[in-house]
């Protein structure tokens, strides 16, 4: 089986479209991260200004200490929220890459299987064993790839659970450290 120039050009065009699609997705993810960083920085600057005004207007050390302590809970919550948003952006971008790459791998596997089937049909008599070995190798590689995908998904799910647990623990710790209202 030989490839025609049209098939080569079509494959090249599809690969270029995939590349540019992935590049755009990467830029979209980076753009979202930059926007998050800018908005977080702007909010932090505003918060610091407000907090400094409050601290400068404190009448005694007890009030100053109370103000400082009361800032811990919102700060911990904001940090946890920022980390969650960064993780969500990274996860969404990674999911887009994974989806595209899985589709590419599926197409490549299908094309390779078709090539093997086509070769098997045109193979000389007595080559059935070699064809069976080739099909078995393709099947084993496909199973290994699927196992790897499952392991990556499990690791991603575990990382998400850990990030959520850490954020929740940080928020709870900040709440317990905040002064009790009397």
pLDDT single digits (tens) 81-122: 898 899 899 989 988 988 888 888 888 888 877 877 777 787
C-alpha to C-alpha distances, 100 to 23, 97, 155, nearest whole angstrom: 12, 5, 19
* Domain membership flag for residue 133: yes
More confident residue, 128 or 79: 79
Q: What pLDDT, on a 0 to 100 scale, did the predictor assign at position 175?
A: 66
Two structure tokens written together for 8: 């080569």
- Rounded to an integer, the average pLDDT of 12-18 is 88
Two structure tokens written together for 93: 């971008």
* Domain membership flag for residue 159: yes
The total of structural domains in the chain comes to 1
Is pLDDT at 178 greater than 60 in this prediction? no
Of the pLDDT bands very low, low, confident and very high (cuts 50, 70, 90), residue 182 is very low
* Domain membership flag for residue 182: no
Q: Which of 11, 15, 77, 13 is nearest to 40 (CA)?
A: 77
pTM: predicted TM-score of the whole model, two decimal places: 0.64
CB-CB contact of 175 with 73 (8 Å): yes
Domain containing residue 83: 5-177
pLDDT 10s digits, 42-79: 999 999 899 889 888 989 989 988 888 888 878 888 88
Residue 116 CB partners (closer than 8 Å, separation 6+) = 131, 134, 135, 138
Residue 28 CB partners (closer than 8 Å, separation 6+) = 93
């Amino acid at each position: 089986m030989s490839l025609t120039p049209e098939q080569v050009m079509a494959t090249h065009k599809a690969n270029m479209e995939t590349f540019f699609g992935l590049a755009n997705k990467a830029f979209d993810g980076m753009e979202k991260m930059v926007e998050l960083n800018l908005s977080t920085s702007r909010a932090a600057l505003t918060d610091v200004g407000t907090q400094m005004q409050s601290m400068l207007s404190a009448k005694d050390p007890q009030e100053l200490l109370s103000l400082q302590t009361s800032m811990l809970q919102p700060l911990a919550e904001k940090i946890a929220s920022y980390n969650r948003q960064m993780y969500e952006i990274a996860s969404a971008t990674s999911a887009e890459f994974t989806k595209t790459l899985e589709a590419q791998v599926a197409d490549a596997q299908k094309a390779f299987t078709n090539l093997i089937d086509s070769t098997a049909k045109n193979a000389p008599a007595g080559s059935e064993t070699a064809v069976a070995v080739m099909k078995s190798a393709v099947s084993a590689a496909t199973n290994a790839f699927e196992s790897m995908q499952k392991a990556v998904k499990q690791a991603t799910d575990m990382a998400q659970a850990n990030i959520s647990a850490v954020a929740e623990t940080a928020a709870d710790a900040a709440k317990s450290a905040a002064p009790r209202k009397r």
